[in-house]
Amino acid sequence: MTEIVNVEQAEAWDGPDGEFWAAHQARFDATISPHHAQLMAAAAIAPGERVLDIGCGNGLTSRDAARAAGDQGEVLGVDLSGPMLALAAQLAKDEGLGNVRFEQGDAQVYPFPEEAFDVVMSRFGVMFFADPVAAFVNVASAVRPGGRLVMAVWGAVPDNEWITALLDAVALGRDLPKPPPGAPGPFSMADQNHTRGVLTGAGFTDVAFTRSEHAAHFGSDADDAFGFVSQLNVLQALMADLDEPAKAKGLDNLRATVAAHETPDGVIFRSASWVMTARKP
Protein backbone atom coordinates (compact mmCIF):
# COMPACT_ATOMS: atom_id res chain seq x y z
CA MET A 1 0.00 0.00 0.00
CA THR A 2 1.18 3.53 -0.76
CA GLU A 3 1.16 6.43 1.72
CA ILE A 4 -1.99 6.85 3.82
CA VAL A 5 -3.02 10.18 5.32
CA ASN A 6 -6.69 9.39 5.87
CA VAL A 7 -5.81 7.05 8.72
CA GLU A 8 -9.18 6.80 10.48
CA GLN A 9 -11.05 5.98 7.29
CA ALA A 10 -8.36 3.48 6.30
CA GLU A 11 -8.74 1.65 9.59
CA ALA A 12 -12.47 1.30 9.02
CA TRP A 13 -12.49 0.40 5.33
CA ASP A 14 -9.43 -1.83 5.49
CA GLY A 15 -11.01 -3.51 8.50
CA PRO A 16 -14.56 -4.34 9.61
CA ASP A 17 -16.43 -1.95 7.28
CA GLY A 18 -14.63 -3.25 4.23
CA GLU A 19 -15.11 -6.86 5.30
CA PHE A 20 -18.85 -6.29 5.73
CA TRP A 21 -19.21 -4.59 2.36
CA ALA A 22 -17.27 -7.37 0.64
CA ALA A 23 -19.38 -10.03 2.34
CA HIS A 24 -22.58 -8.30 1.17
CA GLN A 25 -21.34 -7.09 -2.22
CA ALA A 26 -24.29 -8.32 -4.26
CA ARG A 27 -26.86 -6.76 -1.94
CA PHE A 28 -25.09 -3.40 -1.77
CA ASP A 29 -24.79 -3.26 -5.55
CA ALA A 30 -28.47 -4.17 -5.96
CA THR A 31 -29.60 -1.59 -3.40
CA ILE A 32 -28.01 1.33 -5.25
CA SER A 33 -28.31 -0.05 -8.79
CA PRO A 34 -30.54 2.79 -10.12
CA HIS A 35 -28.00 5.39 -8.97
CA HIS A 36 -25.25 3.27 -10.52
CA ALA A 37 -27.07 3.20 -13.85
CA GLN A 38 -27.51 6.98 -13.84
CA LEU A 39 -23.82 7.45 -13.02
CA MET A 40 -22.68 5.17 -15.84
CA ALA A 41 -24.97 6.95 -18.31
CA ALA A 42 -23.48 10.31 -17.29
CA ALA A 43 -19.94 8.94 -17.61
CA ALA A 44 -20.60 7.84 -21.20
CA ILE A 45 -17.30 6.02 -21.39
CA ALA A 46 -16.18 5.52 -24.99
CA PRO A 47 -14.08 2.68 -26.43
CA GLY A 48 -10.39 3.26 -25.89
CA GLU A 49 -10.75 5.67 -22.97
CA ARG A 50 -8.56 5.48 -19.89
CA VAL A 51 -10.59 5.55 -16.67
CA LEU A 52 -9.68 6.12 -13.03
CA ASP A 53 -12.24 4.87 -10.47
CA ILE A 54 -11.81 6.51 -7.05
CA GLY A 55 -13.09 4.57 -4.03
CA CYS A 56 -13.90 1.66 -6.32
CA GLY A 57 -14.92 -0.68 -3.49
CA ASN A 58 -16.03 -4.08 -4.75
CA GLY A 59 -15.38 -2.91 -8.29
CA LEU A 60 -18.69 -2.91 -10.19
CA THR A 61 -18.10 0.62 -11.46
CA SER A 62 -14.59 -0.34 -12.57
CA ARG A 63 -15.79 -3.49 -14.30
CA ASP A 64 -18.61 -1.71 -16.12
CA ALA A 65 -16.13 1.00 -17.15
CA ALA A 66 -13.76 -1.70 -18.44
CA ARG A 67 -16.53 -3.21 -20.55
CA ALA A 68 -17.34 0.20 -22.01
CA ALA A 69 -13.69 1.10 -22.65
CA GLY A 70 -13.04 -2.17 -24.44
CA ASP A 71 -9.75 -3.86 -25.24
CA GLN A 72 -8.10 -0.60 -26.29
CA GLY A 73 -9.07 1.14 -23.05
CA GLU A 74 -7.92 0.63 -19.49
CA VAL A 75 -9.28 1.13 -15.98
CA LEU A 76 -7.54 1.66 -12.65
CA GLY A 77 -9.60 1.23 -9.48
CA VAL A 78 -8.19 2.65 -6.23
CA ASP A 79 -9.56 2.10 -2.74
CA LEU A 80 -8.50 2.00 0.90
CA SER A 81 -10.07 -1.43 1.46
CA GLY A 82 -8.01 -4.56 1.01
CA PRO A 83 -11.01 -6.88 1.48
CA MET A 84 -13.07 -5.13 -1.17
CA LEU A 85 -10.18 -4.86 -3.61
CA ALA A 86 -9.49 -8.58 -3.31
CA LEU A 87 -13.10 -9.28 -4.23
CA ALA A 88 -13.02 -6.70 -7.03
CA ALA A 89 -9.98 -8.32 -8.58
CA GLN A 90 -11.50 -11.79 -8.34
CA LEU A 91 -14.79 -10.67 -9.91
CA ALA A 92 -12.92 -8.98 -12.76
CA LYS A 93 -10.96 -12.18 -13.35
CA ASP A 94 -14.15 -14.25 -13.24
CA GLU A 95 -15.70 -11.95 -15.84
CA GLY A 96 -12.68 -12.18 -18.13
CA LEU A 97 -11.78 -8.50 -17.91
CA GLY A 98 -8.10 -8.03 -18.66
CA ASN A 99 -8.16 -4.25 -19.02
CA VAL A 100 -8.84 -3.38 -15.37
CA ARG A 101 -6.50 -3.43 -12.38
CA PHE A 102 -6.89 -2.47 -8.75
CA GLU A 103 -4.53 -0.73 -6.33
CA GLN A 104 -4.85 -0.18 -2.59
CA GLY A 105 -4.15 3.42 -1.69
CA ASP A 106 -5.34 6.78 -0.43
CA ALA A 107 -6.50 8.86 -3.40
CA GLN A 108 -5.69 12.03 -1.47
CA VAL A 109 -1.96 11.32 -1.86
CA TYR A 110 -1.74 8.39 -4.30
CA PRO A 111 1.04 8.94 -6.89
CA PHE A 112 -1.16 8.90 -9.98
CA PRO A 113 0.57 9.20 -13.35
CA GLU A 114 0.29 12.78 -14.61
CA GLU A 115 -2.54 13.52 -17.05
CA ALA A 116 -2.97 9.81 -17.74
CA PHE A 117 -6.78 9.47 -17.67
CA ASP A 118 -9.63 10.65 -19.86
CA VAL A 119 -12.24 10.09 -17.15
CA VAL A 120 -12.19 10.04 -13.36
CA MET A 121 -15.30 8.58 -11.81
CA SER A 122 -16.57 7.53 -8.42
CA ARG A 123 -19.69 5.89 -7.06
CA PHE A 124 -20.16 6.99 -3.46
CA GLY A 125 -16.41 6.81 -2.87
CA VAL A 126 -15.25 10.43 -2.53
CA MET A 127 -17.13 11.62 0.57
CA PHE A 128 -14.53 10.33 3.03
CA PHE A 129 -11.46 12.49 2.32
CA ALA A 130 -9.82 14.11 5.33
CA ASP A 131 -8.90 17.10 3.11
CA PRO A 132 -11.25 17.14 0.08
CA VAL A 133 -9.57 20.01 -1.75
CA ALA A 134 -6.13 18.41 -1.45
CA ALA A 135 -7.61 15.11 -2.58
CA PHE A 136 -9.24 16.57 -5.67
CA VAL A 137 -6.10 18.54 -6.52
CA ASN A 138 -4.29 15.21 -6.54
CA VAL A 139 -7.06 13.58 -8.57
CA ALA A 140 -7.06 16.47 -11.04
CA SER A 141 -3.35 15.93 -11.67
CA ALA A 142 -4.21 12.53 -13.10
CA VAL A 143 -6.73 13.88 -15.65
CA ARG A 144 -5.68 15.01 -19.10
CA PRO A 145 -6.59 18.55 -20.12
CA GLY A 146 -10.20 18.47 -21.29
CA GLY A 147 -10.83 15.26 -19.36
CA ARG A 148 -13.88 14.83 -17.21
CA LEU A 149 -14.92 14.01 -13.67
CA VAL A 150 -18.16 12.09 -13.01
CA MET A 151 -19.31 11.17 -9.50
CA ALA A 152 -22.30 10.00 -7.53
CA VAL A 153 -22.58 11.22 -3.93
CA TRP A 154 -25.44 11.06 -1.47
CA GLY A 155 -27.85 13.98 -1.31
CA ALA A 156 -29.12 15.62 1.87
CA VAL A 157 -29.82 13.39 4.86
CA PRO A 158 -33.57 14.23 5.04
CA ASP A 159 -33.96 13.07 1.43
CA ASN A 160 -32.54 9.64 2.23
CA GLU A 161 -35.16 7.67 4.08
CA TRP A 162 -32.92 4.62 4.12
CA ILE A 163 -30.74 6.29 6.76
CA THR A 164 -33.22 8.55 8.59
CA ALA A 165 -35.75 5.77 9.20
CA LEU A 166 -33.15 3.27 10.35
CA LEU A 167 -31.48 5.75 12.68
CA ASP A 168 -34.81 6.84 14.14
CA ALA A 169 -35.61 3.21 14.89
CA VAL A 170 -32.60 2.76 17.16
CA ALA A 171 -32.42 6.27 18.61
CA LEU A 172 -34.72 5.43 21.57
CA GLY A 173 -35.08 9.09 22.45
CA ARG A 174 -31.36 9.80 22.32
CA ASP A 175 -29.82 12.67 20.39
CA LEU A 176 -27.59 10.68 18.09
CA PRO A 177 -24.12 12.10 17.37
CA LYS A 178 -23.81 14.17 14.23
CA PRO A 179 -20.51 14.70 12.43
CA PRO A 180 -19.29 18.30 12.32
CA PRO A 181 -19.81 20.14 9.01
CA GLY A 182 -17.31 19.03 6.41
CA ALA A 183 -16.23 15.93 8.34
CA PRO A 184 -15.66 12.80 6.25
CA GLY A 185 -18.81 10.73 5.92
CA PRO A 186 -21.52 9.58 3.52
CA PHE A 187 -23.21 13.01 3.33
CA SER A 188 -20.19 15.31 3.35
CA MET A 189 -20.73 16.35 -0.29
CA ALA A 190 -24.51 16.72 -0.20
CA ASP A 191 -24.44 20.52 -0.24
CA GLN A 192 -24.03 21.83 -3.78
CA ASN A 193 -22.33 25.07 -2.81
CA HIS A 194 -19.79 23.30 -0.62
CA THR A 195 -19.04 20.66 -3.23
CA ARG A 196 -18.80 23.16 -6.07
CA GLY A 197 -16.31 25.11 -3.98
CA VAL A 198 -14.24 21.99 -3.35
CA LEU A 199 -14.11 21.06 -7.03
CA THR A 200 -13.43 24.55 -8.36
CA GLY A 201 -10.81 25.01 -5.63
CA ALA A 202 -9.12 21.91 -7.00
CA GLY A 203 -9.12 23.32 -10.54
CA PHE A 204 -12.19 21.73 -12.11
CA THR A 205 -14.66 23.78 -14.16
CA ASP A 206 -18.20 23.34 -15.55
CA VAL A 207 -19.39 21.72 -12.33
CA ALA A 208 -22.98 20.49 -12.75
CA PHE A 209 -25.40 18.51 -10.58
CA THR A 210 -28.18 16.17 -11.67
CA ARG A 211 -30.67 14.81 -9.17
CA SER A 212 -30.91 11.03 -8.84
CA GLU A 213 -33.97 9.89 -6.86
CA HIS A 214 -34.71 6.18 -6.72
CA ALA A 215 -36.10 3.47 -4.52
CA ALA A 216 -33.45 1.67 -2.50
CA HIS A 217 -34.24 -2.04 -2.37
CA PHE A 218 -33.08 -3.56 0.93
CA GLY A 219 -34.45 -7.09 0.69
CA SER A 220 -37.01 -9.43 -0.78
CA ASP A 221 -39.21 -9.23 2.32
CA ALA A 222 -39.15 -7.90 5.88
CA ASP A 223 -37.26 -10.87 7.34
CA ASP A 224 -34.64 -10.75 4.62
CA ALA A 225 -34.15 -6.98 4.96
CA PHE A 226 -34.06 -7.06 8.76
CA GLY A 227 -31.37 -9.74 8.72
CA PHE A 228 -29.27 -7.39 6.62
CA VAL A 229 -29.86 -3.96 8.17
CA SER A 230 -29.56 -5.25 11.74
CA GLN A 231 -25.92 -6.08 10.92
CA LEU A 232 -25.05 -2.67 9.49
CA ASN A 233 -21.98 -1.36 11.27
CA VAL A 234 -23.44 2.11 11.83
CA LEU A 235 -26.49 0.68 13.62
CA GLN A 236 -24.44 -1.81 15.59
CA ALA A 237 -22.21 1.05 16.78
CA LEU A 238 -25.18 3.17 17.84
CA MET A 239 -26.57 0.31 19.93
CA ALA A 240 -23.25 -0.78 21.41
CA ASP A 241 -23.64 1.24 24.63
CA LEU A 242 -27.26 0.19 25.27
CA ASP A 243 -28.13 -2.34 27.94
CA GLU A 244 -29.76 -5.56 26.79
CA PRO A 245 -33.43 -4.47 27.26
CA ALA A 246 -32.78 -1.21 25.39
CA LYS A 247 -30.93 -3.03 22.63
CA ALA A 248 -33.84 -5.46 22.28
CA LYS A 249 -36.21 -2.50 22.04
CA GLY A 250 -34.06 -0.92 19.35
CA LEU A 251 -34.07 -4.13 17.34
CA ASP A 252 -37.85 -4.43 17.73
CA ASN A 253 -38.21 -0.87 16.45
CA LEU A 254 -35.89 -1.66 13.58
CA ARG A 255 -37.89 -4.75 12.63
CA ALA A 256 -41.12 -2.72 12.73
CA THR A 257 -39.59 0.00 10.55
CA VAL A 258 -38.45 -2.53 7.98
CA ALA A 259 -41.86 -4.24 8.00
CA ALA A 260 -43.56 -0.89 7.43
CA HIS A 261 -41.57 -0.49 4.21
CA GLU A 262 -42.36 -3.92 2.80
CA THR A 263 -44.07 -3.82 -0.59
CA PRO A 264 -44.91 -6.45 -3.21
CA ASP A 265 -41.55 -5.57 -4.77
CA GLY A 266 -39.59 -5.98 -1.56
CA VAL A 267 -38.50 -3.64 1.23
CA ILE A 268 -38.16 -0.15 -0.25
CA PHE A 269 -36.80 3.11 1.16
CA ARG A 270 -36.50 6.44 -0.64
CA SER A 271 -33.00 7.55 -1.60
CA ALA A 272 -31.51 10.59 -3.31
CA SER A 273 -28.07 11.36 -4.67
CA TRP A 274 -26.30 13.83 -6.91
CA VAL A 275 -24.64 12.75 -10.12
CA MET A 276 -22.01 15.42 -10.66
CA THR A 277 -19.95 16.22 -13.72
CA ALA A 278 -17.00 18.56 -14.17
CA ARG A 279 -14.08 19.14 -16.50
CA LYS A 280 -10.40 19.83 -16.23
CA PRO A 281 -9.51 22.88 -18.34
Q: Are strands 117-123 and 205-219 parallel, antiparallel or unpaired?
A: unpaired
pLDDT for the residue 183? 81
Sequence-distant (6+) residues with CB within 8 A of 80 are 4, 6, 9, 10, 13, 14, 18, 55, 104, 105, 106
pLDDT for the residue 223? 97
DSSP character at residue 281? -
* Global pTM value: 0.94
Residue of higher predicted confidence among 1 and 26:
26
Question: Angle at which helices 161-171 and 244-260 pack, to 10 degrees?
Answer: 150
Cα of first residue to Cα of last residue in the chain, in angstroms, is 31
pLDDT for the residue 6? 73
The answer to whether residues 81 and 109 touch, using CB atoms and an 8 Å cutoff, is no
Coil vs helix vs strand at 182: coil
pLDDT at residue 58 greater than cutoff 80: yes
pLDDT for the residue 7? 79
pLDDT at residue 1 greater than cutoff 70: no
Residue of higher predicted confidence among 251 and 180:
251
CA distance 69 to 253: 46
Residue of higher predicted confidence among 102 and 182:
102
pLDDT for the residue 8? 78
Average pLDDT over residues 117-127: 97
**pLDDT-based confidence at residue 209 (cuts at 50, 70, 90):** very high
pLDDT at residue 23 greater than cutoff 80: yes
pLDDT at residue 10 greater than cutoff 90: no
Average pLDDT over residues 65-78: 98
Query: For domain 7-156+178-215+271-279, which architecture applies?
Result: 3-Layer(aba) Sandwich (3.40)
DSSP state string for 90-132 = HHHHHTT--SEEEEE--TTT--PPTT-EEEEEEES-STT-SSH
Residue of higher predicted confidence among 163 and 3:
163
pLDDT for the residue 267? 98
CA distance 263 to 266: 5
Average pLDDT over residues 110-128: 97
- 129-149 pLDDT tens trace: 989 999 999 999 999 999 999
pLDDT at residue 236 greater than cutoff 70: yes
Among candidate residues 250, 232, 138, the one with its CA nearest the CA of residue 186: 232
Coil vs helix vs strand at 78: strand
Q: Where are the domains of the chain?
A: 7-156+178-215+271-279
Question: Angle at which helices 60-69 and 82-94 pack, to 10 degrees?
Answer: 40
pLDDT for the residue 180? 74
Give strand pairing partners of 275: 152, 210
Sequence-distant (6+) residues with CB within 8 A of 34 are 212, 214, 215
Question: Angle at which helices 244-260 and 222-229 pack, to 10 degrees?
Answer: 140
Name the average pLDDT for the chain: 95
In what helix (H) or strand (E) does residue 88 lie, and over which residues does it extend? helix 82-94
Give strand pairing partners of 256: none
